[in-house]
Amino acid sequence: MDLRQLRYFVGIVQAGSLSRAADQLHVAQSAISHHLASLESELGRQLVTRGPKGILLTEAGGVLYRHAEAILRHVEFAKQDALNVLNVPSGRVSIGFPVALASILATKLFVRIRTAYPQILLHLADGNSAVMRERLDNGRLDLALLLTGKPERGLAVEPLMLEEMFYATADQDNSPIRIADAARRPLLVPGPGSGVQRDAREAFEKHGLSLEPIGECDSLNTMRELVASGVGNAIMTWSALHSGDPRLTLNYRRFVDAKMVRPVSLCFSEMGLRSPAVEAVALTLKSLIRELVESGAWQGVTLIAPDAEPSGSLAHPGEPKPDMAGRSRNLGPAINRNMKNGNGHRKGRD
């Protein structure tokens, strides 16, 4: 077993077929097939099965794929460390965000990294938090912001903040709302596997209420469109309210008798090595988050002190910092024209 075989095997898995892997790796398909057969012969196990829609990993193939990803990444880190003898972080760094957080952080992070560390090639990804976790596990991401606050097997978790969840609506009423009143109105939630639905259900049950949504929607952009059109209301974080088309007019209201918060942590795979470039991106991201929150540009967020344990999803960690000194900095003119805070004032006019 050698590095070339592992590279070809990883290429096959990521491409989904031998022919696409051959094209992407710029080698003959016969060479790809030969190295795959050699690996299977050496291990005495079938690694992939072939079907009409491409290849599928066997159980043995899945185990080898995880190790191969880690091995190749370690080799790349070794090269980067040798090149970093002058303490100049360099190389490729992949970072993942949940969709709502990407809209707040991704562009600003990219600009800062490009300015401060031009030798770093930053790869940005966003999607469902579970998908980002899976990519961390298989080595396709070096670090990610995940919606978790607890240590998990195979994952190094550094809690960063708690995001408050609000009642999002197209109604013009901006006053705080009782959770019982929210329960009587049409409510849209993400699917059963989402943290938002889980936390909302727990909050409703705590008040003797049942969560009976009129529908479920996993697409954040579609959810915002449905709320803006008055079809239903939703429970969202401030970052989710700002995701998607800024022309959509959404109001948000605080819950007067409940506080739902979700933890956000910076996470690394325990199998991965943290190169100087990965550490530089992590430190830059943490600095960016702190600046946005402390300036009021990112509202409804409580920063977690280093080494502090995050509270549970329905805890009362103290009042977040939604209206820093009664002001908020602009994230963009369109947002400030359309978004209203929970006190009934348009941002930028407080």
Cα–Cα distance, 97 to 104 (Å, whole number):
10
* Helix (H/G/I), strand (E/B), else coil: 41: helix
pLDDT class for 139, splitting at 50, 70, 90?
confident
What is the structure's pLDDT at 86? 58
Q: What is the mean pLDDT of the chain?
A: 82
Sequence letter at residue 292:
L
First to last CA, the chain: 65
Cα–Cα distance, 119 to 113 (Å, whole number):
9
Cα–Cα distance, 258 to 131 (Å, whole number):
30
Cα–Cα distance, 276 to 268 (Å, whole number):
14
- For residues 204 and 330, the model is more confident at 204
Cα–Cα distance, 42 to 11 (Å, whole number):
19
Q: What's the CA angle centered on 316, arms 314 and 317, to 5 degrees?
A: 115
- What is the average per-residue pLDDT within 34-49? 89
Q: Is the torsion defined by CA of 47, 153, 126, 252 positive or negative?
A: positive
Q: What is the DSSP string of 47-82?
A: -EEEETTEEEE-HHHHHHHHHHHHHHHHHHHHHHHH
- Tokens 């030969």 correspond to 34
Which pairs with CB-CB distance under 8 Å and at least 24 residues apart come from 341-344?
341/174, 341/252, 341/299, 342/166, 342/174, 342/176, 342/252, 342/253, 342/254, 343/174, 344/174, 344/175
Please check whether residue 267 is in contact with residue 143, taking contact to mean a CB–CB distance below 8 angstroms: yes
- What is the average per-residue pLDDT within 214-233? 93
What is the structure's pLDDT at 231? 95
Cα–Cα distance, 136 to 96 (Å, whole number):
9
What is the structure's pLDDT at 330? 31
Tokens of 108: 């600003």
What is the structure's pLDDT at 307? 56
What is the structure's pLDDT at 313? 37
pLDDT class for 214, splitting at 50, 70, 90?
very high
Cα–Cα distance, 1 to 101 (Å, whole number):
41
Q: What's the CA angle centered on 38, arms 33 and 41, to 5 degrees?
A: 125
- What is the average per-residue pLDDT within 30-55? 86
Cα–Cα distance, 223 to 236 (Å, whole number):
10
pLDDT single digits (tens) 76-104? 777 776 766 556 788 899 999 999 999 89
What is the structure's pLDDT at 137? 85
Q: Is the pLDDT of residue 138 over 50?
A: yes
Distances (CA, A) of 350 to 249, 340, 346: 18, 10, 7
- What is the average per-residue pLDDT within 236-259? 84
